Amino acid sequence: SETEPMLTERRLSCDESDEHASEDEDEGLRSDMHNMPKESPLAMALQILVPFLLAGFGTVSAGMVLDVVQHWGAFQYITEIFILVPALLGLKGNLEMTLASRLSTAVNVGKMDSPIEKWNLIIGNLALKQVQATVVGFLAAVAAVVLGWIPEGKFQMSHAVLLCSSSVATAFIASLLQGIIMVGVIVGSKKTGINPDNVATPIAASFGDLITLAILAWISQGLYKCLDSYPYVSSLVCAFFMFLTPLWIVISSKHPASRTLLYSGWEPVITAMVISSIGGLILDKTVSNPNLAGIVVYTPVINGIGGNLVAIQSSRISTHLHFHCAPGEVPDETKGCYYPCRTFCGTGANHRSAQVLILLVIPGHVIFLYTIHLMKSGHTTLTPIFMSIYLATALLQVLLLLCIADWMVHSMWRSGKDPDSFSIPYLTALGDLLGTALLALSFHFLWVIGDRDSDVGD
pLDDT of residue 457: 43
Phi-psi region of 110 (alpha: psi -120 to 50; beta: other; left: phi over 0): left
pLDDT of residue 201: 65
How far is Cα 324 from Cα 321, in angstroms, rounded to an integer? Answer: 5
Q: What is the pLDDT along the chain (458 residues), one digit of tens a residue?
A: 444 444 344 444 444 444 444 344 333 433 344 444 566 778 888 888 887 888 888 888 888 888 888 888 888 888 888 888 888 887 765 677 777 777 877 777 777 777 787 888 888 888 988 998 999 899 999 988 888 887 666 778 888 899 999 999 999 998 898 888 888 888 888 788 787 767 776 666 666 788 888 999 999 999 999 888 888 899 999 999 999 999 999 998 887 878 887 887 788 888 888 898 898 888 888 888 777 777 888 998 999 899 889 988 998 888 888 887 777 777 766 666 777 777 888 777 788 889 999 999 999 999 999 998 888 776 677 888 999 999 999 999 999 999 999 999 988 888 888 887 788 888 988 999 999 999 999 999 988 888 766 544 44
Cα dist from 37 to 5, 136, 225, whole Å: 13, 39, 58
Q: What is the pTM of this model?
A: 0.75
DSSP for 189-230, written as a single string: HHHHT--HHHHHHHHHHHTHHHHHHHHHHHHHHHHHHTTTT-
